[in-house]
């Protein structure tokens, strides 16, 4: 059952990813991206990572993609985007990024190299005990707000800086 | 009392899915009638009373009418998105009820069945995640119709829902802090343990949740997306027949879910006040009714009559909030768009953030001092009451508290000399309001 669901979600995620690239209209691309994000959330649920799945849908599908929708529908009406995708520097960059990603994936599949985060993974039984004790949210919140609290706060400040910077840049154009 | 076998779990879950889905859709159908009856009552008329006794078959007549009407398709509409939009609107609306517990666990010969469709560990985050997807249906409907009124309605609905999601999430954080978990079954259990509905210790969070829920469901005074005096009917202007009906079903399902959530989060859910016989919670694979003096869990005794009584309690609380939704609709006028944005971003967001900090600090102090039980709730109630008082006083702007008692300011007298740079104002002699300038 879980296997079947995994293949369904994986197929939808891959199909959605292809759709993002191949769709004619930007809104179509966005909806395909939504399908991909949703399927990845489904795979998270199959992995018992409920919190991650909820956050994936809430933040990416529910908030960020809505902003994309705003930008596509309101700021870019009538703009012919196709000339942005001609061969050139962008295409070269795309191939470089794809190559780097493939390299990362190959490293993961070969199993070589150390996985720093695996040191903290308590194993399936330990995971079940952790979930029963702290709940799905607590299991993520405890390390986030104890061991990694400095990194967490710094990330928050970084995002705030990006936000302030974006507003400062946008203000000049008005 | 043991848990269910996998087979019994599958069968009981299927039955629950079927029952909850059909009952909630039936309730939604009758909410359309209730809305019109409440409107009639408030406007001193009868409301629908022609179809069936007391007009009770009116929803059936409406349903048949909607099935038989012509499906229109605007010539310039974007066909696939136009058809997809009602589906995207209705699916998140009807599946969110799945995590809300509606009664105490029911004992059966095959084990104890929890009265919730899916008691998933993320509880209310599931509701937040899915309701945030409701935006797409409305926005796509507005955009795909290729109609300026529909597009404006779609833009308004999505910007409003995105804005108020922030305040909604922040108003839930105090609840999470007090309950210690996000599952709705545990939130109900913690309210039973505290012996107090969260309405009292978290009154300001409750007010913010209600305001945000009105905005999220696009109900008056937040119904700008379908403001009929400006935008025809907003995002569903071009829709007819069942497609239009699906938007209505989605809106009313949202109201039903929001009412059930308010009842569960702030009014103790299915628990019955002043009675400990219905205290039940799954604790380490065992259904318990509380903890003994030595801290050991005490087994609960579920019964059919307890389940039915708690179900009644849940229904009464939910129906109360549904009535509040309708009552407000026929009482308050619509906000202006800038007022909606001002309230969401500049009033509710900072105050909700400050309130989270105040509640967190209070809980921390109470934990350090070692205060528990009823006194814990009482102190939090006092703190929240203070915050609520300050909030109401600040946003009230003399309208409710002292609005009718204060004399209106006299009109400023006209100066005979045109005022300008370097010209000293000369007041007419004996002007009654000269001291005010």
Q: Could you read off the pLDDT of A120-129 as tens digits, one per residue?
A: 666 667 777 7
Q: How confident is the model at residue B434 (pLDDT cuts 50, 70, 90)?
A: very low
- For B289, phi then psi, to 5°, come to -110, 0
B38 against A130, higher pLDDT: B38
Distance spanning both ends of chain A, measured CA to CA: 55
Contact by Cβ (8 Å): B130, B190: no
Half-sphere exposure of B277 (CA within 13 A, CB side): 8
A61–B contact, CB cutoff 8 A: yes
Q: What is the pLDDT of residue B321?
A: 92
Interface of A with B in 35-54 (CB under 8 A): 50-51, 53-54
Q: What is the pLDDT of residue B298?
A: 78
B282–A contact, CB cutoff 8 A: no
The pLDDT > 70 percentage for chain B reads: 89
For residue A148, tell me if it sits in a domain.
Answer: no
**Model confidence pTM above 0.90:** no
Tell me: the pLDDT tens digits for A59-77? 888 888 888 887 777 665 5
Tell me: the pLDDT tens digits for A141-153? 888 888 888 998 9
Nearest to B343 by CA among B246, B433, B222, B262: B222
Mean pLDDT of B208-212: 91
B276 against B400, higher pLDDT: B276
Q: What is the pLDDT of residue B200?
A: 87
Distances (CA, A) of A74 to A26, A29, B310: 12, 16, 49
**What residues does B291 pair with on adjacent strands?**
B297
Q: What angle do CA B260, B265, B268 make, to 5 degrees?
A: 90
Q: How confident is the model at residue A116 (pLDDT cuts 50, 70, 90)?
A: low
Whether the predicted pLDDT of A135 surpasses 90: no
Q: What is the pLDDT of residue B432?
A: 47
User: Who among A73, A131, A137 is closest to B143 (CB)?
Assistant: A73
Mean pLDDT of A138-167: 87
Interchain CB distance below 8 Å, B132 and A54? no
Q: What is the average pLDDT value for chain B, to the nearest integer?
A: 82
Interchain CB distance below 8 Å, B132 and A55? no
For residues B114 and B280, give the distance between their C-alpha atoms in angstroms, rounded to a whole number: 10
Q: What is the pLDDT of residue B436?
A: 41
CB atoms within 10 A of CB A107: 11
Contacts of B165 in chain A (CB under 8 A): 62-63
Interchain CB distance below 8 Å, A73 and B162? no
Whether the predicted pLDDT of B53 surpasses 70: yes
Q: What is the pLDDT of residue A82?
A: 60
From the CA of B65, how many Å to the nearest CA of chain A?
A: 32
Contact by Cβ (8 Å): A48, A13: no
Interface of A with B in 83-112 (CB under 8 A): none
Say how many residues make up chain A.
174
For residue B334, give every residue at least 6 positions away whose Cβ sits within 8 Å of its Cβ, in sequence order, or none. Answer: B220, B221, B222, B223, B224, B227
Interchain CB distance below 8 Å, A69 and B122? no
Contact by Cβ (8 Å): B97, B256: yes
For residue A24, tell me if it sits in a domain.
Answer: yes
**Interface probe, candidates A135, A138, A156, chain B, greatest B C-beta count within 10 A:** A135
Contact by Cβ (8 Å): B417, B425: yes
Tell me: the pLDDT tens digits for A14-47? 999 998 888 877 788 888 998 899 899 988 888 8
In which residue are the tokens 């398709």 written? B73
Q: How confident is the model at residue B118 (pLDDT cuts 50, 70, 90)?
A: confident
Classify the phi-psi angles of B44: left when phi > 0, otherwise alpha if psi is within -120 to 50, otherwise beta: left
Mean pLDDT of B85-98: 88
Tell me: the pLDDT tens digits for B171-207? 999 998 888 888 888 888 888 888 888 888 888 899 9
Whether the predicted pLDDT of B267 surpasses 60: yes
B120–A contact, CB cutoff 8 A: yes
Identify the helix (H) or strand (E) that includes residue B281.
strand B281-283
Specify the 3-state DSSP secondary structure of B282.
strand
Question: For chain B, what is the largest distance between any 2 Cα atoms, rounded to a whole number of angstroms?
Answer: 94
From the CA of A50, how many Å to the nearest CA of chain B?
A: 6
Mean pLDDT of A93-101: 88
For residue A69, tell me if it sits in a domain.
Answer: yes
CB pairs under 8 A between A and B: 74
Q: How far is CA B135 from the centre of its chain?
A: 16
Domain boundaries, chain B: 63-272+281-289+297-353
Question: B221: cis peptide before it, omega within 30°?
Answer: yes
Q: Is B383 exposed, middle or buried (0-12, 13-18, 19+ CB in 10 A)?
A: buried
As for the ipTM of the complex, it is 0.75
For residue A152, tell me if it sits in a domain.
Answer: no
Mean pLDDT of B274-301: 76
For residues A63 and B135, give the distance between their C-alpha atoms in angstroms, rounded to a whole number: 10
From the CA of A147, how many Å to the nearest CA of chain B?
A: 20
Whether the predicted pLDDT of A81 surpasses 70: no
Contacts of A27 in chain B (CB under 8 A): 78, 81, 140, 143
**What residues does B107 pair with on adjacent strands?**
B112
For residues B228 and B150, give the distance between their C-alpha atoms in angstroms, rounded to a whole number: 11
Mean pLDDT of B247-261: 90
Whether the predicted pLDDT of A157 surpasses 90: yes
Structural domain tally of chain A? 1
Half-sphere exposure of A138 (CA within 13 A, CB side): 17
Whether the predicted pLDDT of B404 surpasses 50: no
- For B299, phi then psi, to 5°, come to -70, 145
A63–B contact, CB cutoff 8 A: yes
Q: How confident is the model at residue A48 (pLDDT cuts 50, 70, 90)?
A: confident
> Could you tell me the strand order of the sheet in which B286-291 lies?
B281-283, B286-291, B297-299
- How many helices and strands, by DSSP H and E, does chain B display? 14, 5
From the CA of A80, how many Å to the nearest CA of chain B?
A: 18
**Interface probe, candidates A37, A40, A59, A136, chain B, greatest B C-beta count within 10 A:** A136
Tell me: the pLDDT tens digits for B308-352? 888 899 999 999 999 999 888 888 888 888 888 888 888 888 889
Q: How confident is the model at residue B132 (pLDDT cuts 50, 70, 90)?
A: confident
| Token pair recorded at residue B69 | 């009407």
> A52: domain range?
1-79
Q: Give the alpha-carbon dihedral of B107, B113, B119, B124, to 10 degrees.
A: -50
From the CA of B370, how many Å to the nearest CA of chain A?
A: 22
Question: Residue A59 sits in a domain of what CATH number?
Answer: 1.20.120.1200
Mean pLDDT of B101-108: 83
Mean pLDDT of B424-436: 47
Contacts of A57 in chain B (CB under 8 A): 129-130, 132-133
């Amino acid at each position: 059952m879980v296997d079947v669901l995994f293949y369904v979600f994986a197929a939808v995620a891959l199909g959605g990813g292809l759709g993002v690239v191949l769709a004619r209209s930007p809104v179509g691309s966005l909806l395909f991206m939504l399908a991909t994000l949703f399927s990845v959330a489904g795979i998270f649920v199959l992995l018992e990572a409920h919190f991650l799945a909820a956050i994936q849908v809430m933040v990416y599908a529910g908030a960020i993609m809505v902003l994309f929708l705003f930008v596509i529908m309101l700021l870019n009406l009538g703009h012919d985007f196709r000339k942005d995708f001609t061969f050139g520097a962008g295409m070269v960059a795309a191939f470089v990024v794809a190559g780097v990603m493939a390299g990362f994936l190959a490293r993961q599949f070969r199993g070589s190299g150390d996985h720093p985060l695996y040191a903290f993974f308590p194993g399936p039984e330990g995971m079940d005990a952790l979930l029963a004790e702290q709940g799905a949210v607590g299991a993520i919140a405890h390390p986030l707000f104890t061991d990694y609290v400095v990194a967490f706060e710094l990330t928050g400040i970084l995002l705030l800086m990006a936000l302030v910077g974006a507003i400062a840049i946008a203000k000049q154009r008005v | 009392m043991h848990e269910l076998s996998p087979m019994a779990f599958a069968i009981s879950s299927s039955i629950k899915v079927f029952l909850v889905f059909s009952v909630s859709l039936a309730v939604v159908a009758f909410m359309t009638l209730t809305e019109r009856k409440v409107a009639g009552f408030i406007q001193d008329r009868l409301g629908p009373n022609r179809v069936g006794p007391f007009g009770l078959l009116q929803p059936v007549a409406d349903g048949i009418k909607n099935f038989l009407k012509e499906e229109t398709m605007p010539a310039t509409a974007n066909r696939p998105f136009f058809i997809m939009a009602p589906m995207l609107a209705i699916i998140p609306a009807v599946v969110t009820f799945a995590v809300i517990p509606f009664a105490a666990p029911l004992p059966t010969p095959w084990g104890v069945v929890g009265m919730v469709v899916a008691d998933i560990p993320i509880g209310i985050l599931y509701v937040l995640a899915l309701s945030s997807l409701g935006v797409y249906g409305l926005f796509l409907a507005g955009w795909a119709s290729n109609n300026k009124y529909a597009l404006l309605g779609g833009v308004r609905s999505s910007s409003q829902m995105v804005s108020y999601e922030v305040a909604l999430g922040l108003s839930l954080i105090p609840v999470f802090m007090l309950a210690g978990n996000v599952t709705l079954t545990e939130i109900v259990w913690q309210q039973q343990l505290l012996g107090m509905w969260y309405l009292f210790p978290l009154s300001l969070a409750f007010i913010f949740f209600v305001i945000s829920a009105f905005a999220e469901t696009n109900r008056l005074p937040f119904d700008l997306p379908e403001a009929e005096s400006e935008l025809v009917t907003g995002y569903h202007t071009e829709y007819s027949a069942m497609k239009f009906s699906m938007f209505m079903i989605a809106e009313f399902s949202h109201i039903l879910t929001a009412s059930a959530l308010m009842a569960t989060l702030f009014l103790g859910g299915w628990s019955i006040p002043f009675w400990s016989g219905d205290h039940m919670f799954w604790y380490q694979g065992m259904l318990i009714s509380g903890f003994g003096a030595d801290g050991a869990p005490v087994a609960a005794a579920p019964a059919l009559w307890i389940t039915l009584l708690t179900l009644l309690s849940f229904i009464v609380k939910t129906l109360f909030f549904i009535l509040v939704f309708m009552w407000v609709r026929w009482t308050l006028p619509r906000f202006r768009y800038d007022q909606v944005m001002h309230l969401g971003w500049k009033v509710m967001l900072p105050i909700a953030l400050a309130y989270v900090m105040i509640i967190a600090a209070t809980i921390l102090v109470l934990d350090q001092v070692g205060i528990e039980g009823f006194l814990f709730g009482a102190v939090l109630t006092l703190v929240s009451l203070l915050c609520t008082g300050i909030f109401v006083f600040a946003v009230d702007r003399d309208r409710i508290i002292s609005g009718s008692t204060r004399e209106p300011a006299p009109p400023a007298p006209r100066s005979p000399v045109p005022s300008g740079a370097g010209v000293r104002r000369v007041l007419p002699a004996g002007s009654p309001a000269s001291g005010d300038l």
